[in-house]
Amino acid sequence: MKSKTLVKLAVQSIQKNKMRAALTMLGIIIGVAAVLVMVGVGYGARTRIRQQINNLGTNMIVITPGAAQAGGVSQGAQAFPNLSLADVEKIRGEAQLVSAVSPVIVSRAPVIGAGGNWRTMINGVDTDYQTIRDWQTASGDFFTADDVQSNRKVVLLGNTVAQNLFPGQDPVGAEIQIRSSVFTVAGVLAPKGQTASGSDSDDVVLMPYTTASQTLSGRSFIPQILASTGNERDIPAAQEEIRAILRESHRIEGGVDDFTVRNQADLASAAESSTQVMTLLLAAIASISLLVGGIGIMNIMLVSVTERTREIGIRMAIGARGSDVLTQFLVESVVMGVLGGLVGLALGYTGAKILGHFTGWETVISPLFMLVAVGFSGAVGVFFGYYPARKAAALRPIEALRYE
């Protein structure tokens, strides 16, 4: 029997019992739609994380203290205050592949401006920070190397801070108070948006690290060092170069590093790992509907075999072989699976776009995954339709014709 004829017979059989067929395919439809929505949101989240990581800066390398082991137990990044300005100068002077380097001194404090006060993150940085983070100013200018050397009390405001302290105004040239010190606003940073962790990149105040060290933290160590390379290809070699320089600076010979050197790819992988696990978990839960749909197909096909026993007997009596009957019923179950997959595909794609529209999340569904979803639906039809088809093919013509 030709494939075209088999498909035509399968469609006619489904049309005779439209409601039953629709209910049979419902599990497949819900399963495919739910999996598509979950995977679309998950891939969209990973894409957004990548964009946010890339938004952190250009070819950025992050050096943090810690990652040493005590008693065989890893202490993790930032476990020990062992980075210093001497390390920054050593990297700047000896690293051949590093084009920019900046210490980062982090503190949190309330800031008082003309429009009120706002508690925010204070980052003490060097002038290279602007290059590393590729962070331009929306108004005003970044502070200069002379400002750093002279410990001048100048700051740059993130967009969020500027809006809260100076609503509707350009704060360049205005004064703000941080703790007991008064600072002059040199500029306002261009908006960066959210970080991969969901925090607001624009909720920050930048100042010279020399000023931050003296007026805010009072600490002699550096909690973070940022560096960047001239091009992306140099990042792995630059990491090894920085690692060698810091091992020499910290007099580490053959032991475990007491610092951590990461690049943007490492940061992205760490941020994506939890998202990927959650996406797979949700997709696995949603795929249970596919299993339920497959069982529904098997049940309906078994009922169909019982109802059409005399039809099967007549077909075999006029020359149909068992393989023809098996193929006919198998095609019917596959057609139901594929039709359910196509309807679920349309609903899942639409649902993902609607969810993205109302939540502001980006949803990404690749064409390849759409094909896989429909193909998997057909495979469910084959798997769960084989037993009923085999049962139909095993009927003896005489017994089938006598069946009431």
DSSP string, 250-270: TT-SSS--SEEEEEHHHHHHH
Say if residue 30's pLDDT is above 70: yes
The alpha carbon of 70 is separated from its chain's Cα centroid by a whole number of angstroms, namely 33
Say if residue 226's pLDDT is above 90: yes
Domain ranges across the chain: 3-51+274-402, 83-249
When pLDDT is averaged across residues 109-115 and rounded to a whole number, the result is 90
Residue 248 has phi, psi (to 5 degrees) of -70, -40
Six token digits for residue 28: 């497949």
pLDDT tens-place string over residues 247-263? 988 888 777 888 888 88
Contact 378, 337 (CB under 8 A): yes
Please count the other Cβ atoms lying within 10 Å of the Cβ belonging to residue 114.
12
Q: How far apart are CA 292 and CA 25, in angstroms?
A: 10
pLDDT tens-place string over residues 329-374? 777 788 888 888 888 888 888 888 887 777 666 777 778 778 877 8
Distances (CA, A) of 267 to 45, 54, 62, 93: 15, 10, 9, 26
Q: What is the pLDDT of residue 250?
A: 86
Q: How far apart are CA 227 and CA 215, in angstroms?
A: 25
Q: How far apart are CA 141 and CA 151, in angstroms?
A: 17
Please count the other Cβ atoms lying within 10 Å of the Cβ belonging to residue 273.
11
Specify the pTM. 0.59
Six token digits for residue 309: 């026993």
